[in-house]
Structure 1
Amino acid sequence: MMIIQLGNPRLRQKAALVENVDDANVQQLIDELIATVAEANGVGIAAPQVAQSQRLFIVASRPNLRYPHAPEMEPTAMINPKIVAHSTEVVKDWEGCLSVPGIRGLVPRYQAIEVEYTDRHGKLQKQELTDFVARIFQHEFDHLDGVVFIDRIENTLEMITEQEYQKLVVNKT
């Protein structure tokens, strides 16, 4: 699937609730998002990033070229997600986005969140997420409301290119 880029107005729209998880189109979208995020070396992707206005995203943390230290987890579809509680602790860390290629930024996020979402089988799931996986969830959740990570950067001096990120952060010894 084609990932839309920053500047496409669909990236800034609030996504609609998914009405029927069992709908064949929703299930196909989940499969296509899982394939797209793997192909793009991402750790998450939201339906709005492929121009689908639906409150649905994939969290698919795994080590890859863009995130070599990511924890390993099964790609998980999270439908109509909510953050029901969060830690007071906020942590800044580097983020990038498949819809904003070439740029990384230091983004403040809650260190721990309690979430609810419907899985692809229609079951309500409740989980506590921490650290990197909590960051992915918050990043993708923002996409459902038309927010991209650069909106959350507190200072433009905390933005760097992907090339510099790879030198500074990934390859540091």
Structure 2
Amino acid sequence: MAVRPVVITGNPVLHRPAAKVTAFDDDLQSLVEDMYETMDAAHGVGLAAPQIGVALRLFTYAFPNDDGVPPRGVVVNPVLTLGKISQEAPDPDEEAEGCLSVPGHSWPLKRAEWVRVTGQDAEARPLDFEATGWFARVMQHEYDHLDGKLYVDRLNDKWGRKARRAVKAEGWGRDGRFWTPGVDEDPFGH
């Protein structure tokens, strides 16, 4: 197991759809172990494979929930069915989201309060569960990475402008930027 560098917005792997996982083999098991190690070192609640430069459709998560779902897991080749997303303005105090690939920043975003997740685990066994509240948010956030989207791509105009200014001020938005959890200073202050 190894902690891998987390790529920052601008790396092409973050901005294009990832490929379906077809081989449930030792390489996949090693990838999943590295993803858990990286997620834990970053104090993250989720990590999608594209965030460590691997263009495959899987993500790990570590999030306690009241939905009867194990608080730690991996979802391979997920499909999400979303509940309704409110059209109200997001609450900056209650709905601020962050991302390991936009390190140290957070902005508010409306998400569905309910999702159904189907897919597979790392051994190709079927998964099918519902997620609510913040757990649903985690599922949507990680799933977006698999479609080449970052949460900052979904922000409303006001928050999107702030995010674009911050990305520019950080010198991001181009390939070659990354940080290594447990090695580099924690951008979230954990």
Fold conserved between structures, TM > 0.5 = yes
Name which of 83, 87, 98 aligns with 1:87.
Answer: 83
1:156/1:73 CA distance change after superposition, 3 Å: farther
* Alignment match, 1:17: 20
* Alignment match, 1:104: 106
What SS does the aligned partner of 1:151 have? helix
Q: 1:130-161: CA deviations, max 9, x gaps?
A: 01111001000000011001011103347588
Give the TM-score, by structure 2 length. Answer: 0.73
- Comparing both structures, which one devotes a greater share of its residues to strand? 1
* Alignment match, 1:170: none
2:39/2:46 contact within 8 Å kept:
yes
User: Quick one: higher RCO (CA 8 Å, sep 6+), 1 or 2?
Assistant: 2
1:34/1:75 contact within 8 Å kept:
no
Alignment of 1:1-173 (within 5 A): 1-21=4-24, 23-61=25-63, 74-83=71-80, 85-90=81-86, 92=90, 93-157=95-159
1:13/1:145 contact within 8 Å kept:
yes
Gaps of 5+ in 2: 167-190
1:128/1:26 CA distance change after superposition, 3 Å: same
Give the TM-score, by structure 1 length. Answer: 0.80
Cα drift, residue 75 of structure 1: 2.1
In the aligned structure 2, how far is the partner of 1:157 from the partner of 1:145?
21
- Root-mean-square deviation (CA), in Å? 2.0
In the aligned structure 1, how far is the partner of 2:7 from the partner of 2:100?
9
What is the number of residues matched between the two proteins?
150
Cα drift, residue 41 of structure 1: 0.8
Question: Percent of pairs identical after alignment?
Answer: 33
